[in-house]
Structure 1
């Protein structure tokens, strides 16, 4: 059985503080898509707001990427 993954392309400080996993696997594409959308909404609504995120489907997997951002690596510097 082929697994479908939700991949957080780059873990920002907020994601690291929450202990968010970089890759989570699911048995169905629908489960992966739903989980990716839920994770995206969580990141957009609960993180510090310094970055924006989006989901892109790549070969039946879902990649959550960071749009723009400061790339400082630590929000304590702001």
Structure 2
């Protein structure tokens, strides 16, 4: 069974870094490690306008934006 790391919404920093919205792993443990590595990179290297967290959904990991926002006034633009 494949396990996925999914970035819920690609912000401009993720797009600039060339992040794929989906990554596939054969093992769940590897997917979790991949999600944690992506999250750490995003938290340390992105512009800081967004915060991110990981949510486990079934056997997959979703990286989503949390509170704070980007100052655009609405996240419908993203």
TM-score, scaled relative to structure 2: 0.87
Point out 4+ residue stretches in structure 1 off by more than 4 angstroms: none
Q: Which runs of no fewer than 5 residues in structure 2 stay unpaired?
A: 73-78
Aligned equivalent of 2:65: 66
Aligned equivalent of 1:46: 45
For each residue in 1:27-77, what CA deviation from the matched residue of structure 2 results, as whole angstroms up to 9, or x when unmatched?
A: 0000000000000000000000000000000001000000121373xxxxx
Q: Which runs of no fewer than 5 residues in structure 1 stay unpaired?
A: 73-78
CA RMSD of superposed structures (Å):
1.0
